[in-house]
Every structure is written in C-alpha cells, then in structure tokens.
Structure 1
Amino acid sequence: MFGKRKWSKKLVVATLAIFVVSMSTAFESHSLAAQSHTEQSQFAEKLPIGDPELPERRTVEHPVPGVTITTVHRGYPDSKAFFTVTVATVNDKETAEDIHAALKKAGFDSRIETLNERAPDDPATGPLGYRVRVGFFADKPSALATVEKIKQAGIRLDNGQVIGENSSVQYSAEDGGPTTGPWEIRILTIDPKQYRGELKVALATPDGIGSETVSSIVRRTGALIGTNASYFVMRDSDGTPGDVAGLSVVNGRLVSEAVNNTGSFVLTSPNGRGARVEKLSTVISVHSSDGSSAIIDGINRKPGLILNCGGVDDTPTNNPKHDFLCTDPDEIVYFTRDYGRVADAGTGVQVTLDENGKVIALDEKRGGTIPDKGIILQGIGKGADWLRLHAKMGSKLYIKQSILTADGEPLKLTKNINIVSGGPILLKDGKPVVDAYEEGFHWSESPFYYNFGVRRHPRTIAGITPDGKIIIVVADGRIPGVATGLNFKEEVVLMKSLGVTDAVNLDGGGSSTFVGPDGLRNHPSDGQERPTGDALLVMRPTHQNE
C-alpha cells in the first residue's frame, strides 16, 4: 500500500535526467571552470571510482605557478537508484525484526537489510547491524510523505517504545554499493617546488572562536583558494560553536587540544614543503610556584564538554569517539585571544595570568576579558579546587604543553607549523590504513561506522605524494542524480590513483567546501555554505601581478 516499487525505469531515468540538467545549469553558470579549457590532466588514468568504463571529463586550471585545480565529472545518474525511508538502524537482528513486524502490522511495506561491512581494524566479526526500511520511491517528496505517515501512525513495540520518530529519507546510490554515480570531484594540487605563496590555516571569525563560511574566510584573508578543514563544534549543547573538535595549531600557536591519537594534517613550512600526515596527541599541564601541578584538559572551549572525546578522565571514555559528546566535571581549561575577547562564562574559578605567568586576578566565577598577551585559566569541580589552593595573587603559574606523535616523539612547534585535525587516516606509506575503529569512528552501541564510513557522503581529504606535492580533494555528495559522494574505501583508491602515499580524511558532509579564485565552486550538500571552524588557504604569491 505504501511505497510499492511500481514505476517504470523510463520514468525514473526521465525524472533524474530533468533534475540533473536543471541543477547542472544552475551550478555551473558562475564557475571559472566553464571558462577554462579542457586539457590533459596531470593524472593520466581515469579515476578508479565505479565501473572503469564510466564516462569522465576533466577541466584543468593553473591559477598560479605550482597550483593546479582539476575538476572531474564522472559517471551518470543511476537508473536503478531510488529513494527509501530508513526507519531504524540497530545492532541486533531481534530488535530489527520487532520493528519490521510492527511496521508490517501497520500496513507499511517494510524490509530488513543486513549491514555486513565493518571497519578494517574492527576486532569483532559478523554483521555490524541491521537496517529497517520502507518503500522504493521515484522521488523524494513521495518518500517524505511516507515518513509523515509512519510518524502519524504512532507505531509502538510491545515494550511501549514508539518507532519511526527518527525516520529519514535516503537515496540508494549513496548506500555504498555499486552505482554509476555521478561524481563531481575537485582536486587541488600544490607543488612546493614551484608554488611561491603561502599555504596556511585560518580560524573562523576575525577575533577568535566562532563559525564562518570558507568564502568569507577567503575574502577576509585575501586568499586565492580555500577549503574547509577540521571537525568542529556546531551546537551550543556540545560546547563552544566553532571550536575545532581536535588538534589545531595556527602559526605555531596551540589553539585546540587533540582528540588523542587521531589523524592530523601537518604543514611545516610556509609553502607546504615537508607536509605530512600524523597521529598526534597533546599533553598539557599547569605548574605552580609551590611545586604542585595539575592536568589541563582543554584549550579555548567550554569546560566539561568534550566533543569527540579522546581526552583525560572523560566520561564515558578517554578513547576517541567521533560525533559523541563526552563530559568531565573536574577540568581546567585555558583561554587565549584565539578564542576571542571574552572567555566562556559560568560557575567555577577563573585565574588571569599576564604574559609572564603572574597571577593578576582571581574570581569565583568564569567569564570576562582575555588579556592581549596573557591567558585565562578556568576550573570546574576538582580543577576549581586546585586553582583555589595553588593560584595565589602575585604567584606564578607555568603552562607545559607537548604535541606527541604516535611513537611518543615530541613535535616541535615553530611559527611555521600549522595543523588541522581529521580522521581517520586513509593511507600511510602507500598502504591503506582506515583505522576507523581505533580513531573512534565505530560505536559499539550502534552501526555508526556504516552510516559514517560505508555510506557515501561529501568528503574533504588531504594527502601528500612521494615527491612532496600536496593534494586536497573536495568531493560533492548527497545531491541525488548530480553528486553521489564517496565512502572510506573510495577515498583510499582515489587518493592512491592520484599518487598519494599518505592521506587523512578531514571534515566532510555539509562542511565540504571548495572556494576558487572566482568564489564558491562546489555544491555544499546543505544547499548553501555551512559556517565552519577553520579553513585551509592557498594564499596569492606576493609577487603576482593582478
């Protein structure tokens, strides 16, 4: 009754074809790519995405010496793809069968699909989970109408649990299985041997933590090209919006603590020479003149809330857990002007230090102006108790901080070091890694890995070739019939085909953004640019005449 698959293949193809033509016309009307000539790409072979016989066209641009933009359109709309309603994705088959039976009883065309693919480093075996779906639809509005019918039906399991309230519409070409695409991928190549500009990281907003579109950051900084970069906090309930949720270093300044032992993209020189991909951790502590010391849990974020976890004494885990909010009632966090002019406000203790580490103010509440050259320490719970005991007016506190590699070696910070965080690492020394389990992209209580790593999404990826070139990829996705996106496996084979030996997945989804010399180039899946926490920027060479 609801969503039976009874349309003809011709109708699906015609519908998608009309959609693709109209969308492509709108998207490409402003693009400099339309003004550029198609030429032999630096990547000789077709991209190894989908069937090898799929059609592919490329446009290549050289905006400045040493910088190349390659835009790839590959494949075509999948005539077999359809929209469907995902009612639930669960760990165990019994729960899936209960949901399936309840939907059937209510008159919905329900089915169970087994999710078999696990992270390559997942020690567990067997199915990852089970997905309960309803219907096969030729268009999204029909699927959305079924979502509303399921919600209005008020279907309950025997234990009283209401099902269907979190139902969503998904497109089958994005499930991770075989498809014809299409794919729209932009490949930015920077050759430090020829590039005479600066490759840098910029935080959002002019005066500190906050969210800002990549287009705005590019305009504000005068950059030539920009992409999104690190994962970041989006909601007040998860901390400070715009705060990088992981390691951030800008011009040698440690701006945000690491999600320990997760992948980062490290720039070690102004033009990108020597860039690398590393798993990094941070160890930060505060030492008082009376000989006592305490752990510093975070930098430039709301105390007590740790998005993606991976810290110290976090609940429920100190291990990385992506898109999960850990908490800690006993923290010390410090704030610099990279946060902004005013520190986070709330209950607890606050200590203000001048540029020499001298305590110049003590307060039994948090908030207020951050000094230009000093810092503010905030404590909650046991962290507040430590500050009360050891931070006396006129005394000195010393901050000790280290960034450590996976081997425990310290990474020396210089003014040329810039770091953005991501994960998981995809390639290391030419070998596929995708240690998604270790880096927190697997949740034991749900099939999170399937939704994040097996399904196709917009992606942003950073990598390095053996001869030192930097390759940054932005793949559009979640635009049915126009851009399908990539999953982790496809990211690996794509980057290998581009000659990359070390690569890391950066923030993706609605954050994936590519801004070229003429403005926004890609098609963010939100339908508009999402404000992000930071950006990777290709600056204009200082000698360039314009």
Structure 2
Amino acid sequence: MTPSSLVRPSLALLLAAGLSTLVLPAGTAQAATATTPAPTVSAPVTVTSTEQLAPGVTYGSFQVDTPRGATVGYLLTADLRKNKVSVGLLHPDTVAQRQVVSAMTNDQGAVAGVNGDFFNISETHAGVEPTGSASGPEIADGQDLKFAVPTAQRFGPGIAPGTSTRDVFGVGVNGKARVDTLSLTGEVRSAKGRIALSGLNQYALPVGGVGLFTAAWGTASRVRSTCGSDTSRNDPCSTHTYEVTVRRGVVTAVGQAPGAGEIPCDAQVLVGREGGADVLDDLVVGDRVTVHENLESDARPKLTFAIGGAPILRAGAPLAGLDTKTAAVRTSAGVSADGRTVYLVALAGLAPASAGFTIAELADLMRSLGADAAVNLDGGGSTTVAVREPGQAAATARNNPSGGVERAVANGIGIFVGRS
C-alpha cells in the first residue's frame, strides 16, 4: 500500500458509494525504478454513474479531462470473496476463431465482460490467412487451451522490459486472482526417443520447434505456425516443415506441409519447423507414441483461468519502460494485493469521449482503483465492455467501440455469478 492510498479513497470505492470525484496528482504512483517516467494523469477523475449488477459485482463510468480532451472509462469490479462471484475466460468454441464480447458474455452466462488479449488479426505472408487466435496463453475451467507465441510475433504495442507473451492475468484454485507467468512442459515419447514440445495451439512456433495442435484449435490452417521468426513476425514462412497426425496413440499420417481442417477429439497433430521438422521426420505411420503437455505457472497454486496480458503494474508500482507518449483507447485488468478484488477497465471508443490514455497513465489509473498488479489488454477497436443489467435478457456493449460496431476478438474476461 502506497502512502497516498492511506489518505484518499480508491476510485472503486467511490464507484461503489455513488457519484464523486477523485483527483489523481501527477507522479503519485511509486516508480518501479528511478528511471521510470512519472505518469501524467493529473486531472480529476469524476464518477458519472454506478450500479450493482449483483452482490459483489459493480459497474460504473467515469471521466478524466486530459490536455488531449475528455476520456470516458467504464469500470467493472468483482469481489471474489462472495462465494457466487468468479471471473473466467470468455472464448469462442475454438482457439482459432473470433467472436464479439457481448456474444461470448451471453453464450457463457456472464453478467459482464471485457475484451482480452491481442491476437493474430492480420497477415503479411502471401496466401496465409489470419488465424484469429490470441498471442498469449489461455486456460479455461482448468483446461489448457493454448500457449504463447514468441514475443517478437505478438501483435500490439511494445511491452515493458522483462515481460513477455507468457505473462497472464488469472485465478488460482484458491479463488484468488493474480498476474503470473506460464511455461509449457511437454514431450512426445516413442520407441525412437523423446521430442520436447515448444508450442500448444498457437499461431507461431519458435524457430526449430515442435507444436501440438488439438481439437481445441479448430479448423484453421496450421501453416501460420511455421511463419515468421523469433525476432520478426514478418519474416518468411519456413520451407522446412513436417506434420504428424497421432490418433489413439498411433501415428496415422505424416506429411511435409502443415494441414488444415477439424482435428478429432481422439487425435493430436504435431507440427515441426526446421530442427523440429527433422526430429518429427523420424516418426512413421504405425509408430506408437504418447503426447503430454502442461502449462505451469511461476507462482502457486495452479491457475484454473488464465488469459494473456502485458504487465503494467506490479506491487502497486508502474513498471519501468511504459510508454508515456501514445494515447489510445485501452482495456486493462487488475487485482488487489489480497487477490480478492478484480478491476476491469475499458475506455470509450468514439469521440468526443475517446482521448484515451497512454500505457503509463493506464497503470497509474489502475493503481488508483486499488489494483496492486495489472495488465494491458488489447485496445483500439477491440476495446469493449459488455454488461447485462438486472432484469435484462442479454448483455450489450456499452462503450461505443471505435469501429462503430463490436469487433470480433479472440477472447475476453467474464464476470460470473452463481457459476458452478
């Protein structure tokens, strides 16, 4: 807890109490290092509406008048101490698929949600279609859905030094939220030896790596996983690839090029590039193999929900190296120091309420809300907050996304009440 937080209420508390104003003095956030530029949120933050969606869940709006103009923001809070309140992954039916936030919120029975991670939205590789899949990991209801692409292959603005696409916002089996980092462990075992896995259902594999694709991936082509490199998303696609299909523990097909189409629930597809292609080439039809994978977090306990996000706040202080110049429409997820309160913020998308925040300003805002740790999520036209108010049949988007309509996105964070 910073000294300033002892003498002024958090914005989240003001939202819960009703209309009020909170002044964020410039530079009040404690810097992670002496070289961290001071955030520039110095104007009053005025709460303009607030309501309770359910016991332990609040929704409200606020406005900040910056030198660039007015920025309207929307805040969702979830008190995880309430035994019926939880947060989890909003996602389409498959990893390589996109859906608007309001539809995911309704389909999964959430009371509210925001958009999630940056994703494979466009392509520079001729003949290769965007997969629509997220850059970072995904865990839903304890099931590992995907791992992280190499950091150089992510979409979105630059990230703070020392962070990567493996960083996530999630919730552990103890019901506490946190910002953490995931690693992939896994291998392919056969009588011919062991092959380490370096990917799971992701649109880009490390150079020389082997990736596992399951039914959760969907029908999208797996060619994109062999494009780009560990240093550039736009580097050419590899011409040295190999694919192996395993069904019920037996190799049933092999080929030089990654394929596409539905993967049966009892099947697994292995894709290798460069050195990874060489080791897969040793497998032939009829070989018996076992494949296992696991996403492991740096901290404990095990995460039951995780979504990729770029850390911007740690131990109540903005990270060093955050951008202080580029203002944009943004989305963020944060958590209190005790892991029991989740803060989801989305900014308005259309003028005249869309001056936006820099990432440094966003970090300072999340700290002022009461967050001890926070991540930056996808922004711009992807930023969406969807809410189902009491008595309403369906959730709808509230922030007027900057594209004029909701953008289909890879995933999101939902707030659930009474979910078993």
Q: How does the TM-score come out when normalised to structure 1?
A: 0.58
Task: List per-residue Cα deviations over 1:457-516 (Å, max 9, x = no partner).
Answer: 111111111342111111225x44322111122112211211111111111121111001
**Does the CA-based 8 Å contact 2:137-2:147 persist in structure 1?**
yes
1:339 maps to what in 2?
A: 217
**Does the CA-based 8 Å contact 2:384-2:406 persist in structure 1?**
yes
**Does the CA-based 8 Å contact 1:67-1:195 persist in structure 2?**
no
- Report the Cα offset of residue 217 of structure 1: 1.3
Q: Which moved more, 1:468-477 or 1:185-194?
A: 468-477
State the AA in 1 paired with 2:172: T
Q: How does 1:172-211 map to 2 (within 5 A)?
A: 179=67, 181-194=69-82, 196-204=84-92, 206-211=93-98
Matched, 1:535 2:406: no
> CA 1:67–1:290 in 2, change beyond 3 Å: closer, same or farther?
same
Distance 1:298 1:61 in 2: 43
**Does the CA-based 8 Å contact 1:288-1:391 persist in structure 2?**
no
- Report the Cα offset of residue 193 of structure 1: 1.6
1:351 maps to what in 2?
A: 244
- Report the Cα offset of residue 45 of structure 1: 2.9
> CA 1:494–1:365 in 2, change beyond 3 Å: closer, same or farther?
closer
1:373 maps to what in 2?
A: 266
Distance 1:53 1:534 in 2: 32
Distance 1:51 1:433 in 2: 16
1:67 maps to what in 2?
A: 57
Matched, 1:362 2:248: no
**Does the CA-based 8 Å contact 1:48-1:493 persist in structure 2?**
no
The alignment's C-alpha RMSD in Å is 3.1
Q: Which moved more, 1:457-466 or 1:248-257?
A: 248-257
* Number of equivalenced pairs: 353
- Report the Cα offset of residue 207 of structure 1: 4.0
> CA 1:380–1:188 in 2, change beyond 3 Å: closer, same or farther?
same
Distance 1:300 1:51 in 2: 39
Distance 1:377 1:256 in 2: 14
Task: List per-residue Cα deviations over 1:146-194 (Å, max 9, x = no partner).
Answer: xxxxxxxxxxxxxxxxxxxxxxxxxxxxxxxx60631101111100122
1:160 maps to what in 2?
A: none
**Does the CA-based 8 Å contact 2:131-2:220 persist in structure 1?**
no
**Does the CA-based 8 Å contact 1:343-1:369 persist in structure 2?**
no
Matched, 1:474 2:362: no
Distance 1:288 1:488 in 2: 44
> CA 1:45–1:333 in 2, change beyond 3 Å: closer, same or farther?
same
State the AA in 2 paired with 1:336: T
State the AA in 1 paired with 2:101: V
Q: How does the TM-score come out when normalised to structure 2?
A: 0.74
Q: Matched residue of 1:466: which SS?
A: coil
> CA 1:288–1:194 in 2, change beyond 3 Å: closer, same or farther?
closer
2:400 maps to what in 1?
A: 523
Kindly indicate whether structure 1 or structure 2 has the higher relative contact order, using CA contacts under 8 Å at least 6 residues apart: 2
State the AA in 2 paired with 1:184: V
- Report the Cα offset of residue 47 of structure 1: 5.2
Q: How does 1:118-267 map to 2 (within 5 A)?
A: 179=67, 181-194=69-82, 196-204=84-92, 206-237=93-124, 240-258=130-148, 259=150, 261-262=163-164, 263-267=167-171
**Does the CA-based 8 Å contact 1:359-1:397 persist in structure 2?**
no
Q: Matched residue of 1:366: which SS?
A: coil
Q: Which moved more, 1:241-250 or 1:382-391?
A: 382-391
**Does the CA-based 8 Å contact 1:464-1:470 persist in structure 2?**
yes
**Does the CA-based 8 Å contact 2:21-2:46 persist in structure 1?**
no
1:289 maps to what in 2?
A: 190
**Does the CA-based 8 Å contact 2:21-2:45 persist in structure 1?**
no
**Does the CA-based 8 Å contact 2:78-2:86 persist in structure 1?**
no
Distance 1:531 1:72 in 2: 25
State the AA in 2 paired with 1:397: T
1:8 maps to what in 2?
A: none
**Does the CA-based 8 Å contact 1:456-1:485 persist in structure 2?**
yes
- Report the Cα offset of residue 301 of structure 1: 3.6
State the AA in 1 paired with 2:118: Y
Q: Matched residue of 2:217: which SS?
A: coil
Distance 1:420 1:234 in 2: 17
Distance 1:514 1:195 in 2: 24
1:298 maps to what in 2?
A: 199
State the AA in 1 paired with 2:253: A
Stretches of structure 1 lacking an aligned partner (at least 5 in a row): 1-37, 76-177, 307-311, 313-327, 437-448
Structure number, greater radius of gyration: 1
Stretches of structure 2 lacking an aligned partner (at least 5 in a row): 1-14, 27-39, 152-162, 225-238, 389-394
1:102 maps to what in 2?
A: none
Q: Matched residue of 1:389: which SS?
A: coil
Question: Which of 308, 325, 328 matches 1:421?
Answer: 308
> CA 1:496–1:300 in 2, change beyond 3 Å: closer, same or farther?
same
Q: Matched residue of 2:17: which SS?
A: coil
Task: List per-residue Cα deviations over 1:247-302 (Å, max 9, x = no partner).
Answer: 22222232222256523101124xx9310012x24234433323533343322244
**Does the CA-based 8 Å contact 2:80-2:86 persist in structure 1?**
no
**Does the CA-based 8 Å contact 2:19-2:49 persist in structure 1?**
no
State the AA in 2 paired with 1:70: G
State the AA in 2 paired with 1:58: T
1:173 maps to what in 2?
A: none
**Does the CA-based 8 Å contact 1:67-1:191 persist in structure 2?**
yes
Percent of aligned positions with the same letter in both sequences? 24
Distance 1:43 1:274 in 2: 29
> CA 1:74–1:369 in 2, change beyond 3 Å: closer, same or farther?
closer
Q: How does 1:74-113 map to 2 (within 5 A)?
A: 74-75=64-65
**Does the CA-based 8 Å contact 2:58-2:77 persist in structure 1?**
yes
> CA 1:505–1:235 in 2, change beyond 3 Å: closer, same or farther?
same
Question: Which of 500, 519, 539 matches 2:371?
Answer: 500
Question: Which of 327, 331, 336 matches 1:456?
Answer: 327
State the AA in 2 paired with 1:40: A
Task: List per-residue Cα deviations over 1:194-238 (Å, max 9, x = no partner).
Answer: 25144210223x244211111221232232111101111102447
Distance 2:45 2:373 in 1: 28
2:175 maps to what in 1?
A: 273
Q: Matched residue of 1:454: which SS?
A: coil
Distance 1:46 1:527 in 2: 31
> CA 1:42–1:297 in 2, change beyond 3 Å: closer, same or farther?
farther
Matched, 1:430 2:316: yes
Task: List per-residue Cα deviations over 1:346-400 (Å, max 9, x = no partner).
Answer: 9843222235x43333344432441213311122333222112145524113334
> CA 1:51–1:341 in 2, change beyond 3 Å: closer, same or farther?
closer
Distance 1:427 1:358 in 2: 47
